[in-house]
Chain A
Amino acid sequence: MKKQTRSKSGVFLMELLISIGIFSVCAAVCIHLLAVAESERRYSENLNTAVNIAAACADSFKSGNDIEQIKNELPKEAKSFRCTFTMVDDGGTQALDIMISDDANEYIHIKAARKGDTDG
């Protein structure tokens, strides 16, 4: 009777060890997947914000504001990005080179041009 109990607990322990081993491997893979998903979500969120900031800056420039005014009007989300503005004069057309990046990525790079004097 004693021999049988030892054998059963041995089987149980073996099973528990195997289960924990399988669980550890699968959990490691799944946690890696979740980490990848989290990093992609953060990149996607940053890209979306960067696109909105760039569009806002471009529209601000087109409405006649200069670089200082554009910098002052930047939304608070822009604090976590590096916003680079370069004024370009391309054959009489005033253009603003806008680049939104951070330490790891360059998110968007657009060029906004301003129309000359118009009535409408």
Chain B
Amino acid sequence: MDKKRNGFSGTGISLLVIVFAVLALTIFSVLSLMTTRQQLSLTKKSAATQEAYYDAEYKATKKFNELSRLISNDYEAAADAAESCNAALTKSDGYAVCSFSERINEKMMLICEFSVSLGDGKVNVNKWYCANIEAEEETTETSRPQISNRPGA
């Protein structure tokens, strides 16, 4: 019995402990790196979308300002300008209604519509919202009536 007890020298235990410690350390560090990588990729995507949105909105606002100024001054000249910048311009009940869209990215676009009173030149923004390109194309193709609670819609 004594012989057996003396035979135990602890050989192998330190290696075992180290293996478990290294395993735990590796698992935690890899998990933490993976989480932060995913978080960073999501944040970068969000930042890129935000940049693309403001870029599209800047272009749309520029177009809006140019067209609204032209419509209030000279409707015929505005019609030509609207055609050159892919905007639809219609006239009804003393109002000129102009609508256009600006692409934000592959999935989203900014829909804009405004009306200008041909009498006093007052401008009113009817629609200014982001929409999914596919959903919007589907709506246009099937000509479904738009039921929404968007402001101005």
Contact partners of B44 in chain A: CB under 8 A: 47
- On chain B, which size bracket covers the interface? 35 or more
Interface assignment of B55: CB less than 8 Å from any CB of chain A: yes
Once A and B bind, how many residue pairs between them come within 8 Å at the CB atom? 136
A87 at interface, CB cutoff 8 A: no
B41 to chain A, nearest CB (A): 9
In the complex, are the beta carbons of B55 and A41 less than 8 A apart? no
B40 at the interface (CB under 8 A from A): yes
B15 CB contacts on chain A under 8 angstroms = 15, 18-19
Cβ B123 vs Cβ A95 within 8 A: no
Number of interface residues of A (CB under 8 A): 50
Question: Are A107 and B65 CB-contacts (below 8 A) given A27-B25, A120-B124?
Answer: no
Q: Tell me the dominant secondary structure on chain A's binding face.
A: helix
Determine whether B105 belongs to the interface, using a CB cutoff of 8 Å to chain A. Answer: no
Q: Are A37 and B18 in contact (CB under 8 A)?
A: no
Cα distance, A107 to B44, chains bound together (Å): 10
| B binding-site residues for A, Cβ under 8 Å | 9-12, 14-15, 17-18, 21-22, 25-26, 28-30, 32-33, 35-37, 39-40, 43-44, 46-47, 50-51, 54-55, 57-58, 61-62, 64-66, 68-69, 114, 122-126, 152
Beyond contacts A30-B29, A33-B32: 19 other A-B pairs, Cβ-Cβ < 8 A, are A11-B9, A18-B15, A22-B18, A22-B22, A27-B25, A37-B35, A41-B39, A41-B40, A47-B44, A47-B47, A50-B47, A51-B50, A58-B54, A93-B66, A95-B61, A110-B51, A111-B54, A113-B65, A119-B124
